[in-house]
């Protein structure tokens, strides 16, 4: 192992820069030549590769996004596209590749490894925290801190005007952000994609809250909730309870940006360091995570196919604390 490369792919997540920094500096410490690939797999197909020095990753640990940029690549989904990417890896004499991203990134890495026998390891870079094989993913902690800060500010106007706010957070298929934001903000209800939140049950709870004069002002909604998004739920409440001033707010891509928290910076640094160690020790076709504070290796196959849902006990706790 003499020359390695690193890329970020799919959705950006705060902490990706810290991971890139760790890969570059750990690689150079181990006498490796390290390259950066711009715009993910699309950049790899087009040969957008440059050598990285320690100075190139100085003063980036605190920055959100990714200095290597990111993109989704339709061409890489094809054998022809992966063949072209492999040819560029060969041209630059790259022996190992570190990919930072989510499920789609891991899928591409798996095919590249199997078709061309390239040493590839993956780091879980997604705010959704839905990657199997790690307790937390890069960017998740920052995303929930951003969401909770936004909810705290919305609470001020909700309390002042006695309004009911439906606040939509990211999570098309995963409720981790919604669950942790709901618990951290003390919301009265959380709608998750993984649970069968019954809208009739919610309306019944709202009636009970009104009878006891209970402050019922914050509802956290994952964007993938089966009962509808925040705007749709607010409209349902307005129709049933015209006297309730129901509002909807979508936090959106705010959750992807911003300076990473200390937890995300440390997690990303650990994962980047372990990625280099893995390649040096001939580990490949695997995702690297942290489980119970210990480094954990999971095959790309398992990381892609096995589902990671929020713990039932956490969901139960959230319901009890909201009563």
Distance of CA 236 to the CA centre of its chain: 30
Judged by DSSP in three states, 307 sits in coil
Tokens of 223: 């964007």
Provide the edge-to-edge strand list for the sheet that holds 189-191: 189-191, 218-222, 164-169, 246-250
Alpha-carbon dihedral angle through residues 107, 112, 113, 115, given to the nearest 10 degrees: 120
Strands 119-124 and 286-291, by their bridges, are: parallel
How far from 145 is each of 8, 27, 76, 135, 240, CA to CA, in Å? Answer: 23, 31, 34, 17, 33
Q: Catalytic: 152?
A: no
Residues linked to residue 155 through DSSP beta bridges, in sequence order: none
Catalytic choice (56, 75, 95, 128): 128
Tell me how far CA of residue 71 lies from CA of 45, 104, 243, 256, in angstroms: 12, 11, 46, 15
Sign of CA dihedral 3, 16, 223, 132: positive
For β-strands 49-52 and 218-222, DSSP reports them as: unpaired
Q: Contact at 8 Å (CB) between 286 and 278?
A: yes
Give the integer Cα–Cα distance in Å for 305 and 291: 18
Q: DSSP string covering 206-272, please?
A: HHHHHHTT----EEEEETT-TT--HHHHHHHHHHH-TTS-EEEEE-GGGGG-SPPPHHHHHHHHHHH
Nearest C-alpha neighbor of 188 from the set 216, 160, 148: 216
Residue 312 DSSP class: H
Active site members: 128
């Amino acid at each position: 192992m003499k020359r390695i490369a690193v890329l970020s792919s799919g959705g950006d997540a705060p902490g990706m820069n810290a991971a890139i920094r760790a890969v570059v500096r750990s690689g150079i410490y181990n006498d490796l030549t390290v390259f950066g690939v711009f715009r993910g797999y699309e950049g790899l197909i087009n040969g957008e590769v440059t050598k990285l020095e320690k100075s190139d990753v100085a003063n980036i640990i605190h920055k959100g996004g990714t200095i290597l940029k990111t993109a989704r690549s339709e061409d890489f989904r094809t054998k022809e596209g992966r063949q072209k990417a492999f040819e560029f890896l060969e041209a630059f004499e790259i022996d190992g590749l570190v990919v930072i991203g989510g499920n789609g990134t891991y899928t591409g890495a798996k095919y590249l490894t199997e078709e061309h026998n390239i040493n590839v390891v993956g780091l879980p870079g997604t705010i959704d925290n839905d990657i199997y094989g790690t307790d937390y993913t890069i960017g998740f902690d920052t995303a929930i801190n951003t969401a909770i800060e936004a909810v705290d500010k919305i609470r001020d106007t909700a309390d002042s005007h006695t309004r009911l706010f439906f606040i939509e957070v990211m999570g098309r298929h995963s409720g981790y952000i919604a669950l942790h934001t709901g618990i951290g903000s003390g919301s009265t209800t959380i709608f998750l994609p993984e649970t069968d939140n019954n809208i009739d049950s919610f309306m019944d709870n709202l009636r009970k809250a009104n009878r006891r004069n209970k402050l019922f002002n914050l509802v956290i909604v994952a964007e993938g909730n089966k009962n509808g998004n925040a705007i749709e739920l607010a409209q349902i409440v307005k129709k049933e309870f015209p006297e309730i001033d129901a509002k909807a707010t979508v936090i959106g891509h705010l959750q992807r940006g911003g300076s990473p928290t200390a937890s995300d910076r440390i997690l990303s640094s650990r994962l980047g360091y372990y990625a280099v160690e893995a390649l040096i020790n001939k580990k490949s076709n695997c995702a690297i995570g942290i489980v119970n504070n210990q480094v954990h290796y999971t095959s790309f196959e398992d990381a892609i196919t096995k589902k990671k849902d929020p713990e039932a006990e956490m969901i139960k706790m959230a319901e009890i604390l909201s009563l």
